[in-house]
Amino acid sequence: MLLVIFRRVVDIKQLMMATRRKPDRGLERYDAFFAAHYDELRRYAYRLGADDPDDVVSESMAALWRSLSDVRGGAERAWCFSAVRRITANQRRAAGRREALHDRIGAEPVHHVAPVSDDPVLTAALLELSVVDREILLLSAWSELGCAEIATVIGASRGAVAVRLHRARSRFRTAFRQATAPRAAATRSAKETLDAC
């Protein structure tokens, strides 16, 4: 914990040294404020429900450093509390948007598959697969990736990918047979009709 805080302090000090816009008096003012209020701001971020209170406080302190000349003396504490509140609210809204997008993507059926082939039967068979099965199968067959490479792409273990790929191939075979069955029956009936004539 102390190492994380120390790293963030070092990062903020590096940011301050890189900008070099503030006179030494500003640096002293900032250091005094940081030492006096960091823990208090961290507790406030924690009470607000921030996922990472240290990160929120570090962002607010970096914002304070960038705006130090605009913040009047004595108002830094309120300014930072306000910044912590805004940053936490922004993080919550972003998390909500990510969750909503994840739910929407997971709930909506995927109807579009980039054409792998001009064969509509092949495309129909691919559409019958789940998104995960289709992705693994296309990474293997279309992109010619091995199990280790697919594991890296999707963030799974090599063994899990091998099992998923095996199952996806089995499901594809079944879907392809079902998609070609009506076509084969139509071809047989057309052939029988021609033979009868």
- Say if 146 falls within a structural domain: yes
| The pLDDT value given to residue 142 | 76
- pLDDT tens digits along 34-86: 888 888 888 888 877 888 899 999 898 888 888 877 877 777 777 787 888 88
| The pLDDT value given to residue 7 | 54
> Does residue 100 sit in the same domain as residue 127?
no
- Say if 34 falls within a structural domain: yes
> Does residue 101 sit in the same domain as residue 154?
no
| The pLDDT value given to residue 195 | 53
> Does residue 174 sit in the same domain as residue 124?
yes
| The pLDDT value given to residue 68 | 75
| The pLDDT value given to residue 184 | 58
The domain tally of the chain equals 2
pTM of the full structure: 0.44
3-state secondary structure 67-119: HCCCCCCCCHHHHHHHHHHHHHHHHHHHHHHHHHHHHHHHHCCCCCCCCCCCC
Distance from C-alpha of 159 to C-alpha of 147, rounded to nearest angstrom: 8
Report the mean per-residue pLDDT for the chain.
77
| Residue segments in the chain with a per-residue pLDDT below the cut of 50 | 1-6, 22-23, 110-111, 194, 197
